Amino acid sequence: MNDYARALAPEARARLERVLSEGERATGAQVVIAIFPALEGESLEDFSIRLASSWRVGRKGLDDGAIVVVFLRDRQVRIEVGYGLEGAIPDIEAARIIRESIAPRFREGRYEAGLEAAARALYARVESKAPAERRGKARGGFSVPVWGIVGFVAILAVIAVMLLREVATTRGLSRGYVAGRGGWTVPPIIVLPPFGGRGRRDDDSDSGFGGFSAGGGDFGGGGASGDW
Amino acid sequence: MSRGLTSGLVVLVVLGGFAAWAVGINNQLVSLDQQVNAAWAQVQNQYQRRADLIPNLVETVKGFAAQERGVLESVTQARARASGVQLTPEALNDPRAMERFQAAQRELSGALSRLLVTVERYPELKSNQNFLDLQKQLEGTENRIAVERKRFNDTVAAFNTRQRLFPGSVVARVAGFAPKTFFEAAPDAATPPRVKF
């Protein structure tokens, strides 16, 4: 809940935050609200996807985040839906939530009521769909195999060490060594570290406002825009 | 230790270091190349999603405005042509192939725009829930296309940078990595068809 336009009284904001965190506890998905005074030249969709990409609402890998972005003076609102919720909240449903829950109340100036209705509707849709059904597009991830290089160098190092050891015995640097018994020892087993981190939950940055911590969720541009 | 063996070891280490570096460059390029391909797959997914919406849209409009046969047919044909121009990952460094793909999609965008403008004259159609839903889906898809195109361009930028930075560029050329083509917005490209009633 981030009210940059001071559209809501503190109690209203607190109430909304409670609704939002209850929903998050119940479903695991993360719905966030952001109210801005005005769009500054940018298009609603451009701004919204930039916001979503930088806030990373929702859990990494599950991408189960959604943001309700409101621009008061332009009277425009958008629900930006993360990849993982595109099954539970398809574009038409997001449009319907704007049309039925948000717009009528906003027209009467009842912002808190509208946002609460929207939050409840969004979480209700998430809850009604099993986690498997919520996913939209499947997304692949990539890890750069830096460790392949390390392993290669390690093998080279082992070869160098073995060469040095050969040198040491044949040149008699370790005196008293019985010839025929030194030679190549069994090289230590090289354990390569696992490939780069996909399982880490990173970016748990509490941005210091709104009381939500971003989980690294990803957005693909799904959702709907509307006005009142 | 003899001088010969010392210099032998030095040579080995230097060669080893160089080989490790070259392999590193190559692997980075492979990884970035894969990211470009994955991003491209997403772009095509979303264009396909748009194409999938069109038959339904055409049918709905026909239900109210069957006489607008010209516009409806041009949309259907443009869609067929656009579906026919697929771009395989190998062709991503061919500017002409990319241009052909984009031109086909632009044509479809144009036909859709004209269709939506035509719809303005039919109030019953404009207020039909089915049509409104389709319109919302179309808007959502156009937005997704825009997002995936930008992400694709980002991956291309990352790849091209790695491919061109010296001295890695030598490795790139030897290994056969060619620069990829961006998605360009044509000078006359309209913003995606988004008619607000």
What's chain B's average pLDDT? 86
CATH architecture for the domain at A2-138+204-227: Roll (3.10)
As for the ipTM of the complex, it is: 0.77
pLDDT of amino acid B1: 59
Contact (CB, 8 A) for A67 and A45: no
Q: How confident is the model at residue B152 (pLDDT cuts 50, 70, 90)?
A: very high
A58 vs B: CB within 8 A:
no
Residue B45 to residue A221: CA distance in whole angstroms: 13
Phi–psi pair at A91, nearest 5 degrees: -55, -40
* Percent over 70 (pLDDT), chain A: 69
Best B56, B138, B147, B159 member to test A by mutation, with max A CBs in 10 Å, is B147
Please report, for residues A40, A99, A207, the alpha-carbon distance to residue B40 in angstroms, rounded to integers and kept in the order given: 31, 34, 33
CB A78 within 8 A of CB A44: yes
Query: For residue B187, is the peptide bond before it cis, meaning its omega torsion is within 30 degrees of 0?
Result: no
> What is the reported pLDDT for A169?
55
Give φ, ψ of A59 to 5 degrees: -90, 140
B77-136: pLDDT as tens digits = 999 999 888 888 888 888 888 888 999 999 999 999 999 898 888 888 888 889 999 999
Helix (H) or strand (E) holding B156: helix B129-164
Answer whether A87's CB lies under 8 Å from A128's CB.
Answer: no
Q: Where are the domains of chain B?
A: 16-175
* CA–CA min distance A165, chain B (Å): 11
Residue of chain A nearest B29, judged by CA positions: A144
Q: Is A114 exposed, middle or buried (0-12, 13-18, 19+ CB in 10 A)?
A: buried
Cβ contact, residue pair A149, B24, below 8 Å: yes
Whether A199 has a pLDDT exceeding 50, the answer reads no
pLDDT band at A148 (very low <50, low <70, confident <90, very high): low
Q: Check if A138 contacts B (Cβ < 8 Å).
A: no
Residues A40/A7, Cβ–Cβ less than 8 Å: no
Minimal Cβ distance to A92: which of B20, B35, B136? B136
A221 in contact with chain B, both atoms CB, cutoff 8 A: yes
Q: Is the pLDDT of residue A214 over 90?
A: no
The answer to whether residue A130 neighbours chain B at the CB level (below 8 Å) is no
Identify all chain B residues contacting A95, using CB atoms and an 8 Å cutoff.
Answer: 133, 136
What pLDDT is attached to residue B74?
92
What strand order describes the sheet that includes A76-82?
Answer: A2-3, A30-36, A65-71, A76-82, A219-227
User: What are the chain A neighbours of B9 within 8 Å (beta carbons)?
Assistant: 160, 163-164
Q: What is the pLDDT of residues A60-108, one digit of tens each?
A: 888 999 999 999 999 999 999 999 999 899 999 999 999 999 999 999 9
Domain ranges (residues) in chain A:
2-138+204-227
The pLDDT of residue B186 is: 53
CB atoms within 10 A of CB B159: 26
Q: Which residues of B touch A167 (CB under 8 A)?
A: 1, 5
**Residue A21 to residue A68: CA distance in whole angstroms:** 15
Binary contact (A220, B23; C-beta < 8 A): no
| Minimal CA separation from A1 to chain B, in Å | 24
The string of pLDDT tens digits covering residues B35-56 is: 999 999 999 999 999 999 999 9
Mean pLDDT of the residues in chain A: 76
Where do runs of H (alpha helix) occur along chain A?
10-27, 44-55, 91-97, 103-107, 111-128, 131-134, 146-170
What does the pLDDT read at residue A175? Answer: 43
* C-alpha to C-alpha distance for A11 and A6, rounded to whole angstroms: 12
pLDDT higher than 90, residue B144: yes
Q: pLDDT digits over A13-52, tens only?
A: 888 999 998 998 888 899 999 999 888 888 899 999 999 9
Task: Check if the beta carbon of residue B55 is closer than 8 Å to that of residue B129.
Answer: no
A146 CB neighbours in chain B (<8 A) are 24
The pLDDT value recorded for residue B4 is 78
pTM across the whole model: 0.74
Interface test with A, best of B136, B149, B155, B171 (most A CBs within 10 A): B136
